[in-house]
Amino acid sequence: TTVAISATASHPIPTTLYGQMFEDINSGDGGLYAELLQNRAFQQVAPNTTAALNAWHAIGSATINVVADPTPVSSALPNALQLRVPSSASGAVGFGNEGYWGIKVDSTWTYNASFYYRFPAASAQKPTSTVSLVSSSGDTYAAASVTLDGSQTTWKQVFVTLKPNANAPNTANNFAVTLDGASARGLTVNFAMFSLFPPTYKGRANGMRIDVATALAEMNPSFFRLPGGNNLEGQSTATRWQWNATVGPLVDRPGRMGDWGYINTDGLGLMEYLYWCEDVGMQPIMAVWAGYSLDGDSLPENELAPYIQQAADQIEFVIGDTSTTYGALRASLGRAEPFNLTYIEVGNEDFFASSSYIYRWRDFYGNLSARYPQLQFIATTYPFNPILTPTPKHYDNHVYQTPHWFASNSFFYDDYERNGTTYFEGEYASISSNASDLYGSAATGRFLYPTMAASTGEAAFMTGLERNADIVFAASYAPLLQNIASTQWTPDLVSYDAATVYRSTSYYTQQLFSVNRGDEYLPSTLPARNGTVFWSVTRRNSPSAILIKVSNTVSTPADLVFQLPLGINAGSSGTAQVLQGSQNASNTPSTPNAVTPVTFTISVGRTVNYSAPGFSVSVLTVPIA
């Protein structure tokens, strides 16, 4: 196939074209958010239940229980962990936390631990506690002593640093707090708000896990959609995500029952998201709750006002100057300067509630755009279905489909009317080989991890996003992250456990496109809509180059001849970055590097001759003098 490349660009590649969709779907707590202790503050649990002790266990003859403390550490955290030492105790007594399915012990790290304690009944005793990192088989990697003062009947926070003396061979390790039983007989001590942090990405306080953050940053993302996705919406109005419950001291954050079946600590809150965006060089695409929750309830129009106000307050917290109420709150938390914000998404997937979205959009958009005319608002129903007023300038399209669908729909946006509307392809992924049971199980075709068929299908679709980037301003694969020990959705772009991050074939595909996006689109001979090989050509300003992306979605190699535009001065060689594997090849925890990009030199003349291997994603870089 010969592909003639035009010298005249048709449209710029938006700086926002590639980014990330995020929500806590086993991806925040225990994942991107670096807190190592699971159930660290006994949030949203019923006292005196076994479930309340999730991830905690007693050590020695101690008994532990989650109690509703009569003088709680804060109104947000009513529960405490109560340790009772039997009168006959001897040996170590206390409790341990198993982390999020394990704790990585790294001898090059300094861990920061903290907790609150108080004695419900004053005691003359001043027992020494040992705070440690121990293997589940009892090896102590790090330990520090903290005296607990029996006269301390009000809450006192203590801080400890832990430096392991060795790397643990696996993640079967615990955080532990113990007393010497013989010297603590009969004592009762209450504890609250534990925390154990490893070093964080860019050293940010209350920040992100370095290896996960690094993998995400290496995609060169330009935006970060937050906080969801379903996890924005709540199973009810009362349990929706509320920005104000996620900012300020951790001891004041109540947490919430998330929308993926587990409690969110909200330690990863709005301010942490915004610092994260800055640390990576992304802009937020920030959602506001828009009156619909996943139980199917839409608030009636005459009840929207307080929620519109809460959304306005959320925006004020992000961009308000310090003379505003919530700009001042932001400043009081250490950040006087407003954050960068352009895009607001109004709800999530409101095609589930199109009829109520007609008034919900009208009122949320109407009020918020009047207050913040400089912001761009994204609607979340199907485009122009139903008709919304005022007419949305932007829509968020989502699609989960088969590899074949993606390979067959790379012209999805070519047929879209050019009427001034621009589109956010906010969630897309090839999730199953079974078009008639997309959301089924692995037994019926669901992908547990992306495969090369999935990734080349996505790449084909992405060549169409670049060709149509005059109306597609942003696109992101979803979901972004999964904890392989506790998963709500597959496949995901990046997987991880307590020790390791696993980059999928779709991760490398996203990275190849995002890192090599270019600055303007160069039209070229169109691929066949129902063909099997797809390409996109862009020009990069600095360093000057032509970038040719190719996806081959079948097993047979494809021989391509790219005719470079006349008048450009290409050198005699370029580079190819190629991700190539068999149809079902996949990077998994057992085969983490089955398919990774390889780079090699290609020869360049008036044409670039390239044979795209079967099931491959390629980026050809042709430097321009």
Ligand X SMILES: O=S(=O)(O)O[C@H]1C[C@H](O)[C@@H](O)[C@@H]1CO
| DSSP annotation string for 399-437 | EEE-HHHHHH-TTTTTTS--SS-EEEEEEEEE-BS-TT-
| Nearest partner of 59 among 78, 77, 81, judged by Cα | 81
Q: Which is nearer to ligand X, 377 or 534 (CB)?
A: 377
Q: How far is the CB of 259 from ligand X (least distance, A)?
A: 7
d(CA 36, CA 55): 11
3-class SS of residue 613: coil
Q: How far apart are CA 475 and CA 424, in angstroms?
A: 6
Q: Residue 380 CB, nearest distance to ligand X (Å)?
A: 9
Q: Which of 267, 259, 236, 257 lies closest to 488 in space, CA to CA?
A: 259
| Shorter beta-carbon distance to ligand X: residue 118 or 398 | 398
Q: Residue 38 or residue 380: which is nearer to ligand X going by CB?
A: 380
Closer CB to ligand X, 213 or 232, in the complex? 232
Quickly list DSSP for 545-606. Answer: EEEEEEEE-SSS-EEEEEEPPTT--B-SEEEEEEEE--TT----SSSTTSS--EEEEEE-SS
Q: Which residues form the interface with ligand X (CB under 6 A)?
A: 23, 228-230, 348-349, 427, 478-479, 489
Residue closer to ligand X, measured from CB, 465 or 478: 478
Could you tell me the smallest distance in angstroms from the CB atom of residue 495 to ligand X?
15
Measured in degrees and rounded to the nearest 5, phi and psi for residue 522 equal: -105, 115
User: Min. distance of Cβ 228 from ligand X in angstroms?
Assistant: 6
Q: Which H or E run contains 106?
A: none
**Residue sitting closest to ligand X (CB):** 229
CA distance 500 to 498: 6
* Residue in 94, 149, 158, 106 with CA at minimum distance from that of residue 125: 149
Three-state secondary structure string covering 208-259: EEHHHHHHHHCCCCCEEEECCCHHHHCCCCCCCCCHHHHCCCHHHCCCEECC
Six token digits for residue 172: 């079967």
**Dihedral (CA of 452, 453, 455, 461) sign:** positive
Q: Which is nearer to ligand X, 209 or 225 (CB)?
A: 225
**Residue 271 CB, nearest approach to ligand X (Å):** 22
Nearest approach in angstroms of CB 483 to ligand X is 15
Q: Which is closer to ligand X, CB of 24 or CB of 69?
A: 24
Tokens of 45: 């649990």
292 vs 326, beta carbon nearer ligand X: 292
In the complex, least distance from residue 482 CB atom to ligand X, rounded to whole angstroms: 11
Report the residue number, 69 or 492, with the smaller CB distance to ligand X: 492
- The nearest distance, CB 226 to ligand X, in angstroms, is 12
The single-letter code of the amino acid at 608 is: V
Q: How far is the CB of 168 from ligand X (least distance, A)?
A: 33
d(CA 397, CA 475): 9
- Beta-carbon neighbour count of residue 499 at 10 Å? 14
State in angstroms the smallest separation of the CB of 400 from ligand X. Answer: 6
| CB nearer ligand X, residue 251 or residue 344 | 344
